[in-house]
Amino acid sequence: MLAACGRARSDASPPVPACTTPGFSGSTVRVGLVYPDTGPLALPFSLARSGFEARIALANEAGGVHGRRIEAVPADDAAQKETNLAVAQRLIERENIFVLAEFTTAASGSADLLAANGIPVLGVAAEQAWSNYENMFAATYIYASEDSVTTFGVFARAQGVTRAAVVEDPVSDSAQVLGDQMVASMRSQGVDVVSRIPYRLGATSAARTVKAIRESGADGLIVSMELAGLRELLVAAQEAGVGFKMVLSPLAYDRSVLAADGQHFAGVSAYFVQIPWESKDPALKTYRDAMGRFAPQVSDPDQNLVLNSYITADMLLRGLELAGPCPTRASFQKTLRGLTDYDAAGLIPGGVDFSTNRTSLSLCYRFATVNEKGTAFESRRAADGTERWCGTRLTD
């Protein structure tokens, strides 16, 4: 454990208090940053690192938090659970980090270790594990471990959907949880879920899946799997002349989708809680400016993974600010978990309640649909004329 004495930054600056908390020195706070730098997921998750480090750089430029700069210590887990466990252990034992940020699909590999050692973890909730541990924080959850909400069913009914099919990854716990919650939401609004169809990217026939959907009589499609699988289905449906009143995906709100496959994604709707890319809000300008200055290698910052990693860093900074100049890991976790109105520096209008969001879906979302030309997203307005669609919580 490092023990550090506080030092005055300059004659005009107050001294930084001495602090023996792991990861704290007189001038820095060390934070672990785990992501796949090698392997098939290296390219997208390198963008996540860029978003995180851009927000940290912006804070450090302004003097850090309580007089200390934030130092990110990167580690490559190759998106493998065994490697994730190994690098997390090294960051704790050898790198003396205070908290851990994770942008990976293998965070469950180290979840038990980090919980047992009381290490706060912040990141993008890409696995079910993020809902299961009190020490793990994410600003948004595609799924949560408890209950559903009526919001998705309300949106589907507004599109004229009466019969829905759910296509989901059968080996992903996250996809199964999301599928269950979508079924409950649809049924709460009188939408009949006529089929749940397993689909494995690269293994399942898209043409046969589309045929099964057509035979079910579904006029709405909910896809609970990665975008590459959704693309296969969309192409097969277009080739077969099968159309839907609604295609809903939790992952499709990303401008990179339009650049690569806009013509195939025309008509697809996505839901999200963050500020829309089309907004003129100053918070979005601050984000884009920070990305341009500190992460110029990211040619287009308007990507969900980049934004969510930037927000993760902002969560860290907010927690450090509120927890005081020398928090323990436990006090940092308690402080952040008690924050009920976190708005991500204006990037999440309406705010996040960290005391409940780990296990409960949000009640309110924004929905956007790819236009007919596949060139842009169009916001969908709710019955009250706003862009926020809100429902009620469903309980057993």
What is the domain partition of the chain in residue ranges? Answer: 28-142+279-346, 148-277+362-394
- The span from the CA of 348 to the CA of 346, in Å, is 6
pLDDT of residue 10: 43
Mean pLDDT of the 307-329 span: 97
Mean pLDDT of the 77-106 span: 97
Residue 277's closest CA among 258, 296, 262?
258
Q: How confident is the model at residue 151 (pLDDT cuts 50, 70, 90)?
A: very high
pLDDT of residue 44: 84
Q: Is the pLDDT of residue 237 over 80?
A: yes
Angle among Cα 133, 389, 140 to the nearest 5 degrees reads 20
**Tens-place pLDDT, residues 177-226:** 889 999 999 999 999 999 999 999 889 999 999 999 999 999 999 998 88
Of residues 109 and 2, more confidence is placed in 109
Lowest-pLDDT choice from 8-22, 64-78, 289-303: 8-22
Q: Is the pLDDT of residue 3 over 70?
A: no
pLDDT of residue 6: 39
What is the residue-averaged pLDDT of the chain?
92
Q: Is the pLDDT of residue 308 over 90?
A: yes
How crowded is residue 383: how many other Cβ atoms within 10 Å of its Cβ?
Answer: 8
pLDDT of residue 145: 63
Where b means 16+ CB within 10 Å and e means fewer, 194-218 reads bbbbbbeeeebebeebbeebeebeb
Q: Which residues contact 118 (CB under 8 A, 6 or more apart)?
A: 135, 329, 330, 333
* Predicted TM-score of the model (pTM): 0.84
Angle among Cα 118, 7, 336 to the nearest 5 degrees reads 30
- The span from the CA of 242 to the CA of 260, in Å, is 22
Mean pLDDT of the 298-324 span: 95
Lowest-pLDDT choice from 74-78, 95-99, 260-264, 365-369: 260-264
Q: Is the pLDDT of residue 12 over 60?
A: no
Q: Is the pLDDT of residue 349 over 50?
A: yes
Are 28-142+279-346 and 148-277+362-394 equal in CATH topology? yes
Q: Is the pLDDT of residue 38 over 90?
A: yes
**Length of the chain counted residue by residue:** 396
Q: Which fold has domain 28-142+279-346?
A: Rossmann fold (3.40.50)
Mean pLDDT of the 83-90 span: 98
Q: How confident is the model at residue 13 (pLDDT cuts 50, 70, 90)?
A: low
Q: Is the pLDDT of residue 68 over 60?
A: yes
pLDDT of residue 359: 81
CATH of domain 148-277+362-394: 3.40.50.2300
pLDDT of residue 5: 36
The DSSP secondary-structure symbol of 346 reads G
Q: Is the pLDDT of residue 1 over 60?
A: no
- The span from the CA of 195 to the CA of 213, in Å, is 7
